[in-house]
Amino acid sequence: MKKDLSNVNVRAITPLPSPLEIKEAIPLTETARATVIAGRRRIAQILLGEDPRFLMVIGPCSIHNTGETLRYAKNLATLATELKDQLLIVMRLCGDKPRTGKAWTGFWNDPDMNNSYNIKNGWTEGRKLAIEILNRGLPLGFEFLDAENFQRIDDIPSYVWLGARDVGSQRQRQIASGISAPVGFKNHNVGGVKIALDAMGVAVGSNVFVSSNDAGRASRFVTDGNKMCHLIHRGTEASPNYDAENVLKSVHELMRRGLLTRIMVDASHGNSRKDHHNQKSVIMDVVSQVVSGNKHIAGILYESYLEDGNQSIPQDLSELLPDISVTDACDGWETTERVLREVHTKLSQIK
């Protein structure tokens, strides 16, 4: 076909498996399926105030090594079982990453981190990894970024969120209205909570939009709306917003709009001023608010991995350091375990 009218700047088009083909090739086990269903139900109960436990969505900023991720998941699953009377622990499993400039866009798109963009392998290996973690009884949380990537794993997460860059996207808002798991909306990094509240107002209601179905065919979708939409405070470029005053302001606005008034707090990003060492102080401040009687904070998002800090992806991948994040800096496992145990102890004081 001549390229004088369409695809003028496209070098190649390669067919990929449909969502249905991926799901049929790598189906959920019964254990994994039960973990997803139970996780969604329990998270919804926490957001509604029916389950008194504290929700902790915790894990690496992004996955890049399946073996390392499984070791982290094993540690977290053991701790989640031990602390389950006070905490519902959900593991972050982010396979694609939003970028301000040109950089590595995540495991789903470039699993080998060498610009080979073996997308099929990213989807299949990412799905296998997720199911292995679910088989350990650990629910998963995903960022909703790329709709095509997400559709191949949309039966897996128990928790989903829209990031600060995507919360203003009308398409993301509409699709979120049909997601089967609870969905959090992070405040915009510049525009504050209003953009997130506007997004929630769209997603809680019915929407009609065009997207691909599981067979890969363009289809008309009509949704009922996602009643488990909720706000996430992640701080802004100007200042953090995890403090009691900012939380109360948001609660009043959520009430005014008739939206769910239980919110999550992101301990990283603007709230930590992009310094992972500050996450603990954010978490402890938030937990202190809960211990003091604040009923409107449902839980926390926390960036954590095997070792402390982060690293840039080297040109020579043999120089990549083991067990360290390649995107946002994370707290290492030793710090993570101490933080979770301290949170558990503080929450145990509530009568």
Structural domains present in the chain: 21-306 (3.20.20.70)
pLDDT recorded at residue 251: 98
C-alpha distance from residue 206 to each of 74, 143, 223 (Å): 39, 22, 5
Percentage with pLDDT > 90 across the chain = 91
Concatenated DSSP letters of 265-296:
EESSHHHHTT-GGGHHHHHHHHHHHHHTT--S
Q: Specify the pLDDT at position 99.
A: 67
Taking the C-alpha atoms of residue 269 and residue 171, their distance in angstroms, rounded to an integer, is 24
Q: How far is Cα 304 from Cα 327, in angstroms, rounded to an integer?
A: 12
Only one residue has tokens 């070792």, namely 307
Nearest in space to 223 (alpha carbons), one of 241, 239, 209: 209
By three-state DSSP, how is residue 199 classified? helix
Q: Which two tokens stand for residue 286?
A: 């938030």
Are the beta carbons of 152 and 123 closer than 8 angstroms?
A: yes
The predicted structure's pLDDT at residue 299: 98
Question: What digits encode the pLDDT tens for the residues 146-172?
Answer: 988 899 999 999 999 999 999 999 999
* Residue from 148, 146, 116, 111 nearest 129 by CA: 111
**Along the chain (351 residues), what's the average pLDDT of each consecutive run of 10 residues?**
79 93 98 98 98 98 97 98 98 86 88 95 97 98 92 96 94 96 96 94 97 94 98 95 97 98 97 96 98 97 98 96 97 98 96 70
* pLDDT recorded at residue 5: 83
Q: Which residues contact 42 (CB under 8 A, 6 or more apart)?
A: 51, 53, 88, 139, 158
CB-side neighbour CA atoms (13 Å) of 167: 30
How many CB atoms lie under 10 A from the CB of residue 37? Answer: 13
Q: What pLDDT was estimated at residue 3? A: 66
Of the candidates 207, 252, 196, which has an alpha carbon nearest to the alpha carbon of residue 229?
Answer: 196
- How confident is the model at residue 74, as a pLDDT? 98
**pLDDT reported for residue 148:** 87
pLDDT tens for 91-111 read: 999 999 876 667 899 999 999
